[in-house]
Amino acid sequence: PRMYSTIRHTHLGFHWNSISIRRLVSVSYFFLLRV
């Protein structure tokens, strides 16, 4: 169970990292369109 919990936690962290990267890309793209 402990290993499963760790894997689940890392998966959640990766998901959050993916969202932050996506947000950063969208923001940079928006600025590119503005300029």
Task: Please state, in angstroms and rounded to a whole number, the distance separating the CA atoms of residues 27 and 18.
Answer: 14
What is the reported pLDDT for 2?
Answer: 74
Instruction: Single out the residue of 25, 7, 27, 4 nearest to residue 15, CA to CA.
Output: 7
C-alpha 35/C-alpha 30 separation (Å) is 9
The pLDDT value given to residue 20: 83
For the chain, 35 residues long, the average pLDDT of each consecutive 10-residue run is 67 71 90 86
Domain boundaries, the chain: 1-35
Which pLDDT score is estimated for 28? Answer: 92
Could you please report the per-residue DSSP string of the chain?
A: -HHHHHHHHHHHHHHHHHHHHHHHHHHHHHHHHH-
